[in-house]
Structure formats: structure tokens, C-alpha cells
Amino acid sequence: MKTTFLWMMALALLAGCAKPKDSTEKATNPVIFADVPDVAMVRVGDVYYMASTTMHMNPGLPIMKSKDLVNWELISYAYDTLVSNDMMNLDNGQNSYGRGSWAPSIRYHNGVFYATTFSATSGRTHIYTTKDPENEPWVGHSFEPSLHDHSLFFEDDKVYLIYNGGDVKIVELESDLSGIKADGLNQVIVPEAGKVASENLMLHAEGSQMYKHDGKYYLFNICWPQGGMRTVVVHRSDNLTGPYEGRVALQDRGIAQGCIIDTPEGDWYAYLFRDYGAVGRIPYIVPMKWEDGWPVLGNNGIVPDTLDIAVKNINAAGITASDEFERSAASPDFPLAWQWNHNPDNDFWSLNQRPGFLRLTNGRIDTDVLQARNTLTQRTFGPQSVAETAVELGGMKDGDFAGFIALQRNYGYVGVKMENGKKSLVMVLSENDEPIEKELIPLATDRVYLKIACDFRERADKAIFFYSLDAQDWKPIGDTLQMRYTLPHFMGYRFGLFSYATHETGGYVDFDYYRVDEGSSVLQ
């Protein structure tokens, strides 16, 4: 069955490769209709590398690659585990939802790539290096304190971090980037950087990115005026330490925070994100040009929906992936599209205990799916996305829950629970921090098929749940989840495979596959 599916996928890909390219195709915004916020970017030759935020997910600090600025593929993560503590291990009732690591910076200097981030969860600033982000592991170190929303900047033989909210500061690092230089530069360079947009701010300047162009220094930040929207501000100076003069660079639909990048041909773009409801913070490409020594973003201040780039978007295809869980000895454990919710416990998941299946074993007692270890996730994406799995249930014990979740603070899942030696299909919604069973159906089989369909069109933000006993006849179950983007989780919705115990440990389930597509046949 899985082999047939793989052949079908291969034939579809071959057919797509054989199709002649329409030379009139243009890239469109959003360039990726999925949660890829706080982007930082560097170009090396004709290849672009992008880093983004995934916070409490691990592995973390994703690195993506592109040849055209439009279509991206995941190539690595800077770390497997940011820190091991109660928050990241979901121990003792603690968690790191909405924290983990934030707003990275990525740079290339003297043949070395640098990816940096910071974390309230670890209380540290983290720096990772490699000479080849696609084929060589990243090597990391960290130091105190955690420098908020920083931008790594090399100048001659010195290296700096520009950081902070409100008053933007600069600090000099040791030459080996091992920590802050005790007698180095350490000062405010732009006080109250957001004031250039408004005297009345609900979000002061943050998201610093520093660049040097034609001998001048350019500092990009975002702020949020009261009653307004996310706004891009830029400051420039003839000297790194100032004085700086500033202006508003963009106010359009809240599209803000990210980076700027040039092409080998000399064109310039900003890469920013837009808050778009439950799917998360989605990236937009913004045309940019230089006028009178200032960066000018957008077309007459507007971010276009269609770009003058002759490339067709693949949307999220380079950062999401179906998985049959079939592995050879030489293959990696998971496609890079997968991330664990918080730190995994590697003793309690396996791809080889039953070849061709992902086994999740319950290694401890939990009371709620949000505290369960080893929930394996991928991004949802818009405008529509549908994912399906099959799970075998012969290893479940009383009190076990397992299934398929649309994961955020307000979650919904379809799955199976074991109670008094009997299994039942169950659909659960938790919309006010209280999980409620919306439907319960007795189950007499040890294999069941589960599906979640997400609709993000025009911010509908609805998820519908289905089950099947034969993978052909699909039936809706429970209620529709009204998805909501919440700041405690600070992330777009994820599809997730989970299993957890409420009475005794040792139970397990086997997931046979995970298949995801655009879902237009399910959501009309």
C-alpha cells in the first residue's frame, strides 16, 4: 500500500518536471503561506540562506536555502536541543510555549556561517557556526545574558551584537564570540528608536537588523503605534555608533520585521512577515530600492500581491513533507519538516522497533496532551491544508490517549482512548483551557485512519476532523475547531502525532504514515 503511494508521488513529480514552464508566471505574496516569522537572510554567491523562529520546537533554528528568493527548502537546524531543563522537557508542570528561542540572525564571514539566537528559557545568547550549513553540523556555544532581538555585525576585525527593545544598544564580543568583551564597546546607539513613527507606542522598537551599504550604516526595527499597525522604521548614520537619523520605512497591513537582501543582479528586496491569524506569521517579499541614500520599501508604500519575479511559488512544499516512516540504514531519522513539541525523550520513540512505522511509547503519566512528551509536529499551511495518518492500537493500555492534533493553546484532536479494556474514537476540543470530549464512538478494530482539514482562506481559521475504518469512507467527528492564534503559544497551528498515558506507563501506538496536501478536494 505504501509502495503504491510512493510510486504515485514519483509519477506526479515526473509529470510536473515534464510540464513546460509558463514564462508569464510570476511569484506572488505571501511567498510562503505558513508560519515562518522573524526571517534573517544572507546571500553567498547566487544562493540565499534564511533562518527563522520556531521557539519551543526541536530541533530548532531552521536553516533554509533558495536559488530564486521565492522557493525555499529546509537544509538543516542549528541545534538539536537548545537547553535541557524542566521547561523544555515539559517536567513538573512546566513548559516553554511561546519562548524557546526567538528572532535569529544569520551571517557569512571569512568562509564561516554564523546563526545566532537568544532565549528566555535558557537565559543565554546562543551562537552556532559551520562552513557548510547543508552538509556539516553546526557547532554551538552560549553565554549570558540573553540579548533580545539581536543582529550580528562584523566590522573590520571586530564583531558586535546590536540588540534590545526601545533603546537600541550595541555590545562588542570577544574575537572568538565566546562572550561580551569586558572592555569593549557597550552603549545605546539609538534611544527610543520607535519614536520616529509615533510618540505613543504599544510596542517599542525591536527586531534589530544592521547593514552597511555604500559606506553608511542602516538599522532596521519594527514598532507598533497605538491604534496603528506593525511599522518598519529605519535609521542611518555615517558611523556605527551614531548619531542616527530615522524615518518610517513601511506601514502596510502590518507587514514588518525581517531583513533586506540583494540579488547578484543588484536588485534589492525586504523579506518581512505578516500576522495572518491561526496559520501564523507568513513571509512577504517587498520590492526595495535606494533613493537619496535611503531604502524605499514597497511600490508607493504598498506591498504588491504579485511580484516582478518570473518564478512560480511552491508555497510550503519545501518545508513540509509526507512521510511513510520507511527507513533504510543510511537514511536520517526524520525529514527536516518534522519537529518535536519541546524536547523529545529519545528512549520512547522508535522507527525500527517495527520497521515502516513510528512507534510512540508512553514513558510517564501526563494529564493533558499539551504536557505530553514526544508529540511530533509539522506546520499547517494555507490557504488550505489537509493531513492524514493511520494508527495501529494493539499496544494501548487503560488510560492511554493517542491520535492526531491541530496544536496550539486552543487545540482540537481526533484519536483513540482506552478505558476499562475498551477502545473508543474520541474528538476533543480545548477552546478555553478545558479539554471537552465532543464525540465518543466505540471502536472494535486495532487500526483507524485519522484526518484533519484546515481552512485559512480569508482567515476562516477552521479545522475539521475526520475518521475512517478503511481509508475510503471518511466521516466527520465532533465539532469544528475555531482556530485562534494565541500569544501564550506564539506560533501558527501545527499538525501533531501524539500518545500519552494517564494511568500507567508502557503503552504504545504505531503510526503507519503521514500524508499532507493542499486539501482543495476536502474543503470547498
CATH architecture of the domain covering 24-297: 5 Propeller (2.115)
CATH number given to 339-517 = 2.60.120.200
Beta carbons of 423 and 396 less than 8 angstroms apart:
yes
pLDDT in tens, the chain (524 residues): 454 343 333 333 333 333 334 457 999 999 999 999 999 999 999 999 999 999 999 999 999 999 999 999 999 999 999 999 999 999 999 999 999 999 999 999 999 999 999 999 999 999 999 999 999 999 999 999 999 999 999 999 999 999 999 999 999 999 999 999 999 999 999 999 999 999 999 999 999 999 999 999 999 999 999 999 999 999 999 999 999 999 999 999 999 999 999 999 999 999 999 999 999 999 999 999 999 999 999 999 999 999 999 999 999 999 999 999 999 877 778 999 999 999 999 999 999 999 999 999 999 999 999 999 999 999 999 999 999 999 999 999 999 999 999 999 999 999 999 999 999 999 999 998 999 999 999 999 999 999 999 999 999 999 999 999 999 999 999 999 999 999 999 999 999 999 999 999 999 999 999 999 997 666 65
Q: Of all helices (H) and strands (E), which one includes residue 2? A: helix 2-18
Q: Of all helices (H) and strands (E), which one includes residue 140? A: strand 139-143
Three-class DSSP category at 462: strand
Cis-peptide, bond into residue 145, ω within 30° of zero = yes
Cell 467527528, residue located: 477
Distance of CA 48 to the CA centre of its chain: 18
b (16+ CB within 10 A) / e for 173-202: beeebeebbeeeeeeebbeebbbbbbeebe
Residue 215 makes CB contacts below 8 A (sequence gap 6+) with: 238
Which three three-digit cell numbers place residue 236?
Answer: 542611518
- Give the pLDDT score at 451: 98
**For the chain, first and last CA: distance in Å?**
28
Our CA angle for 370, 462, 35, nearest 5°, is 65
The two most distant CA atoms of the chain are separated, in Å, by: 75
What is the Cα–Cα distance from 173 to 394, expressed in whole angstroms?
56
Domains in the chain: boundaries: 24-297, 339-517
**Tens-digit pLDDT profile for residues 454-472:** 999 999 999 999 999 999 9
Cell 544572507, residue located: 42
**Tens-digit pLDDT profile for residues 253-294:** 999 999 999 999 999 999 999 999 999 999 999 999 999 999
Closest residue by Cα to residue 189 from 244, 145, 150: 244
Beta carbons of 384 and 278 less than 8 angstroms apart:
no
